[in-house]
Amino acid sequence: MLKQNTKFWMLSAFMALTTSAFTQDSFNADNGKKLFEANCVSCHAIDKKVIGPALRGIQLRRDSEWLVQWIRNNEKFRKVTKDPDAIALYNEYNGAAMNVFENLTRVNVLEIVEYIKTAPEAPKNAVVIDSADGTKKEDNTNVYILLTLVAIFSIVLLILARVKNTLRRIAAEKNPEEYAEWLAPKKGFFEKILPGKWGKLNPKVLTLFSVAIVSVPVLYYGFEFSITEVAVQKGYAPKQPIAFSHQLHAGQLKMNCQYCHSSVEKSKQASIPALNTCMNCHKGVQLTEKYNGEISPEIKKIYTALDYNPEGKEGEQYGKNPRPVRWIRIHNLPDHAYFNHSQHVKVGKQSCQTCHGAIEKMEVVQQVNTLQMGWCIDCHRVSQVDVANNNYYKALHDKAKADIAKNNQSSKYFSADGTVKLTAAMNGGLECSKCHY
């Protein structure tokens, strides 16, 4: 019985960890995850100190009501309620105040806490942007992890094989007749096909070796295919020809995204700015003070691209050999998926960070989301349409309300009292030809 029970608990723990589908708590960790990703990830990580502290185990460290108050309005909590713990925390972080999140309800906060409670441990050393110093390590950690894992599993396999043989040997010693065949010496497969002493090597090692020889390239190409063709490029952060830092421009200098990505509200493309946009500032800003009187090498690249000579005479500064910058596309949607920035930014009022992550903290831009269809769909299911402030939706809403009033029934899109807000999915956001044509 006990054995059965342990199995059951093992299994449920596993399920809870991986899918969180079985959480019995009334707070929805799924929702918490979304909220966490939308609001917290720019400053917090679960297992790691970023700007704010690592959050794992927060439910043990702090009372949940304390957390609600702190998260919703830490300023009020410190200054009005004068909670000692809050003040201590504030001082611990040298007076760097946490943002105020009054838009989050109490339930929201508890959902986030629930998520933190149940969040799976991130695989150690996985690709994470180290935003503290702003540089992403160009490392081969993952390859090492893979190799280590392969090694560990090989060893485990060998040990298991060993154990099996030992057991069989014990059995054979007890009952030699039955195992006579096994005990008799025989020529192995490798002995037959390999010459000389090569054949005498441990056949299991040889088997593993040959399996590895065959499977490594197969696996490698298989995965490469699935990565490139299925387009799972999460974490893709190529080195760009000019080391443009969003962290500096959007983060520190707080430039509006639309200053450069000017067509984001007008067009399907956010557009990479033309180099003359850079020149608006960098004609003057050359960071010479930082480079011993020299122009910053990255800014020089802009000049080279435009064939611009900062020392040249007014009107003759531009040469005849401009070379456009070949940026490397990071977000590559397949051809058959239609995505329109203006729909999402101007109409849907989504922030850039919703899809692109904390871009203002990225020294090197990386793809933080999978861009797979499931990801789009998940967002469409929860994103609410701003009915009140757009006449297009307002008219729809009024029409629906009138219809509901007339027919005395609720509509699929809107509830009778008009309180339930419309999600993108309800308004056809899951239909194929919204994105595929």
Partner 1 sequence: MIHDSILRDRLVTGDKTPSDVTRDILRPILNNPSKSWKIGFTLSVIFLGIFGISLLNTLWNGIGVWNINKSVMWGWDITNFVFWIGIGHAGTLISAVLLLFRQKWRMSINRSAEAMTIFAVICAAMFPVFHMGRVWVGYWALPLPNAFGSLWVNFNSPLLWDVFAISTYFSVSLLFWYIGLIPDIATIRDKVSSKVGKAMYGFFSMGWTGSTRTWARYELISLILAGLSTPLVLSVHTIVSTDFATSLVPGWHTTIFPPYFVAGAIFSGFGMVASLLVVARKVMNYENYITIGHLDAMCKIIMVTGSIVGIAYLTEFFIAWYSGNEYEQYAFANRAFGPYWWAYWSMMSCNLIAPQVFWFRWARTTPWFIFIMSIVVNVGMWFERFVIIVTSLHRDYLPSSWVMYSGSLTEVGLFLGTFGIFFTFFFLFAKFLPVINMSEIKSIMRNRE
Partner 2 sequence: MADWNVPNVTINSIKLRINTMSNNINYWKGEDELSKSKSFVSAQKNEFHDDLPLDEIFNDESIELKANRRDFLKYFGFSVTAVALAACYKTKIRNAIPYLVEPEASVSGVANYFRSTCGACSSSCGIEVKVREGRPIKVDGSIDSPISQGGTCSVGQASILSLYDNERLANPLFDGLEQKDWAFIDAAVSIKLNALKSSNAKIVLLSGSIHSPSTLKSIEKFASAFPSLEHVSYDAISYSGILDANEADFGQRVIPTYKFGEAKVIVSFAADFLGTWISPVEYSKGYTKQRQPGVEGGMSKHIQFESSLSMTGANADHRFPMRVSQEALYVASLYNYIAIANGIKQIPIPLQGELAGNAIKKTAEVLLKSKGKSLVISGSNETEIQQIINGINMLLGNYLTSIDLANHSNQFQGSDTKTAEVLKGLNSGAIGGILFYGVNPVYNHNGKEWVAGIKKAKLSISFSSSQDETAAVCSFVCPDNHYLESWNDAQPRKGVYHFTQPTISNVFNTRQAQISLLTWANALVVLEKDPFASKAILSQKFHASPFYNFMRINWAELLSSDESFNAVLEKGVLLEEPLVGLFAYKGKVDGFASYVSANSKVSGIEMILYQPVGIRDGAHGNNPWLHENPDPVSKVCWDNYIALPKSLAVGLEITEGDTVNITVGKQMYLGVPTIIQPGQANNTVSLALGYGRTHAGKVGGSIEKGVDSVGVNGFAFANNTGNRNFIIKNVEISKGDDTYQLAQTQTHHSIEGRDILRESSLEAWKKSPNAGNDKAKTHVYTIWEKPEYRKDGAPNHLWAMAIDLNSCTGCGSCVVSCSIENNVPIVGREQVRLRREMHWIRIDRYYAFRSKEGNLTREEEIANEDKKGNHDHWQDVGVIYQPMMCQHCANAPCETVCPVLATTHSSEGLNQMTYNRCIGTKYCGNNCPYKVRRFNWFRFNDNDDFDFNFNNPLGKMVINPDVTVRTRGVMEKCSFCVQRIQEGKLSAKRQGKSPDQVVVQTACQRACPSNAIVFGDLHNPESEVSKLYKNERGFTVLEELNIQSSVMYMTKIRNNDSI
Of 83-91, 303-311, 367-375, 408-416, which part binds partner 1 (CB under 8 A)? 367-375
34 near partner 1, judged by CB under 8 A: no
The span from the first CA to the last CA of the chain, in angstroms, equals 58
Indicate whether 227 belongs to the interface with partner 1 (CB under 8 A).
Answer: no
Could you say which of 376, 400, 424, 426 contacts partner 1 (CB under 8 A)?
Answer: 376
Burial classification of residue 405, based on how many CB atoms lie within 10 Å of its CB (0-12 exposed, 13-18 middle, 19 or more buried): exposed
Residues 243 and 33: their CA atoms lie apart, in Å, by: 32
Distance (Å) of CA 129 to CA 41, 56, 83, 135, 237: 12, 19, 34, 7, 10
| Sign of the CA dihedral running 121, 124, 129, 132 | positive
Of residues 16 and 430, the one with the C-beta less far from partner 1 = 430
Secondary element (H or E) of residue 225: helix 203-229
User: Which lies closer to partner 1 via its Cβ, residue 262 or residue 372?
Assistant: 372
Residue type present at position 30: D
Note whether 145 binds partner 2 by CB under 8 A.
yes
Site map 179..208 versus partner 1, x via CB under 8 A: ------------------------------
If one asks whether residue 386 binds partner 1 (CB under 8 A), the answer comes out as no
Q: Are 43 and 50 in contact (CB under 8 A)?
A: yes
Q: Closest approach of Cβ 229 to partner 1, in Å?
A: 11
Site string for partner 2, 274-313 (x = CB under 8 A): xxxx---------------------------xxx------
CB of 357 to partner 2, least distance (A): 15
For residue 131, the 8-state DSSP code is: T
What is the smallest separation between the CB atom of 380 and partner 1, expressed in angstroms? 8
Considering only residues 407 through 436, tell me which ones interact with partner 1, judged by CB under 8 A. Answer: 430
AA letter at 103: N
**Cα distance between residue 113 and residue 156, in whole Å:** 37
At 421 the three-state DSSP class reads coil
22 binds partner 2 (CB under 8 A): no
- Closest approach of Cβ 372 to partner 1, in Å? 5
Residue with tokens 């899809």: 355
Q: Which stretch binds partner 2 (CB under 8 A): 69-77, 81-89, 208-216, 258-266?
A: 258-266
Site residues for partner 1 per CB under 8 A: 230, 232, 370, 372-378, 430
